[in-house]
């Protein structure tokens, strides 16, 4: 049987859609029927396991799966022997401490001698130790945000993304313990063939992620301002410049980073650029 790279991804939940989309954008096709536990890719040497996110680090540590996609919060809380290969840019959140909105909170000394409810006892314990605060960690398995309201704890430590859960439960965020996003983890020792397949996968992931942050831009530029316009658009090597049928004008093609996009567009317009078209890029290989 040919060697396959076994990847574990979340079966359902917040990381499921983005994990699937990433693999599909990497050109890896597979059927993922409801309630399926594993499947094989049609066009890439890969087997996909669908698991609860909490179990993924253990499966990778035990080499039942070679690699996995999981939130950093889970890896560091579970403290498993796995290697983080690549950040994936989705599933972003933060582990924060929150207290009742009307509490007077000035600094983390507030927590001294208090009770903190969390599903992340290890990470919270480390935080308290660093800050030299003695507080009681009360581990619960879910619905952490209701703990202060029912008198179970004075504070909570939980994942936050928009902040609306805290708000709806009358809480305010007072400390951020750490920032998390989805990452690709791997077993520390992979066979040669698995290693090669992983390299191929990482190459594709980087190309997909780079493309997501970059746009292809086409515009018409008056030749007298061409130098200035080109300096705004460094491109991958340098922009492509082609003469237009209309004398005195050129067509300029390049790529721009999404983060600088609006600022560059404004400068281009000021430099006389016209007919600016911006299109998404599917893959980007440097
Ligand atoms: O069933 P399974 O065990 O696989 O899933 P799960 O229910 O344990 O996890 P799931 O699907 O909720 O989250 C999977 C991963 O998504 C987490 O481990 C994080 O890495 C990441 N992630 C990103 C989040 C959030 N954002 C998030 N907001 N995980 C949980 N939340 C919860 C949080 O616990 C709180 O209840 O959402 C609520 C807060 O959200 P806001 O937007 O109101 O602030
Ligand atoms: Zn979970």
Q: What is the pLDDT of residues 108-122, one digit of tens each?
A: 999 999 999 999 999
Atom from ligand 1 closest to the CA of residue 74? 18
Gap from CA of 53 to ligand 2 centroid (Å): 5
Question: Which residue's CA is the nearest one to ligand 1's atom 18?
Answer: 71
For residue 156, which ligand has an atom nearest its CA? 1
Ligand 1 mutation pick, 35, 71, 158, 170, max ligand atoms within 8 A of CB:
71
DSSP notation for 214-256: EEEEEEEEEGGGHHHHHHH---SSS-EEEE-SSTTEEEEEEEE
DSSP notation for the chain: ----EEEEEESSSTTHHHHHHHHHHTT------TT-SEEE-SSSSEEEEEE-GGGHHHHHHTTSSSEEEEEHHHHHHHT-S-EEEEE-S-S-EEEEEEEETTS---SGGGGTT-EEEES-HHHHHHHHHHTT---EEEE-SS-GGGTTTTTS-SEEEEEESSSHHHHHTTEEEEEEEEEE-EEEEE-SS--HHHHHHHHHHHHHHHHHHHHHTEEEEEEEEEGGGHHHHHHH---SSS-EEEE-SSTTEEEEEEEEEGGGHHHHHHHHHHTT-EEEEEEE-S----
C-alpha gyration radius of the chain: 25
Gap from CA of 71 to ligand 2 centroid (Å): 10
Distance CA 27, CA 49 (A): 18
Ligand 1 mutation pick, 10, 11, 16, 53, max ligand atoms within 8 A of CB:
53
Question: Which residue's CA is the nearest one to ligand 1's atom 19?
Answer: 71
Q: What is the pLDDT of residues 35-87, one digit of tens each?
A: 789 999 999 999 999 999 999 999 999 999 999 999 999 999 999 999 999 99
Q: What is the pLDDT of residues 220-279, one digit of tens each?
A: 999 999 999 999 997 778 899 999 999 999 999 999 988 888 999 999 999 999 999 999
Atom from ligand 1 closest to the CA of residue 72? 20
Distance CA 233, CA 260 (A): 11
Mean pLDDT, residues 167-186 taken together: 98
* Lookup: tokens for 230: 């080109």
- How much is the pTM? 0.91
Pick from 175, 160, 94: which is nearest to 127 by CA? 175
Assess whether the C-beta atom of 118 lies below 6 angstroms from ligand 1.
Answer: no
């Amino acid at each position: 049987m040919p060697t396959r790279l076994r990847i574990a991804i979340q079966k359902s939940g917040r990381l499921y859609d983005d994990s699937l989309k990433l693999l599909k954008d990497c050109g890896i096709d597979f059927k993922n029927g409801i309630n399926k536990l594993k499947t094989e890719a049609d066009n890439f040497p890969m087997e996909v396991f669908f698991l609860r996110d909490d179990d993924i680090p253990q499966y990778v540590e035990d080499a039942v799966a070679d690699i996995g996609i999981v939130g950093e919060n889970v890896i560091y809380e579970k403290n498993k022997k796995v290697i983080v290969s690549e950040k994936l840019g989705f599933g972003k959140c933060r582990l924060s401490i929150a207290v009742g909105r009307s509490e007077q909170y000035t600094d983390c000394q507030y927590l001294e001698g208090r009770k903190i409810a969390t599903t992340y006892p290890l990470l919270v314990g480390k935080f308290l130790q660093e800050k030299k605060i003695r507080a009681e960690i009360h581990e619960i398995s879910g619905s952490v945000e209701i703990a202060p309201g029912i008198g179970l704890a004075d504070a909570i430590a939980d994942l936050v993304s928009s902040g609306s859960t805290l708000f709806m439960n009358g809480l305010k965020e007072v400390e951020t313990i750490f920032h998390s996003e989805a990452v690709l983890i791997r077993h520390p020792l992979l066979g040669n063939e698995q290693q090669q397949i992983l390299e191929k996968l990482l190459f594709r992931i980087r190309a997909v992620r780079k493309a997501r942050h970059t746009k292809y831009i086409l515009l018409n530029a008056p030749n007298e301002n061409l130098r200035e316009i080109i300096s705004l658009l460094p491109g991958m090597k340098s922009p492509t410049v082609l003469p237009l049928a209309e004398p005195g004008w050129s067509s300029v093609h390049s790529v721009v980073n999404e983060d600088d996009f609006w600022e560059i567009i404004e400068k281009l317009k000021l430099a006389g650029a016209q007919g600016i078209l911006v299109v998404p890029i599917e893959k980007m290989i440097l």
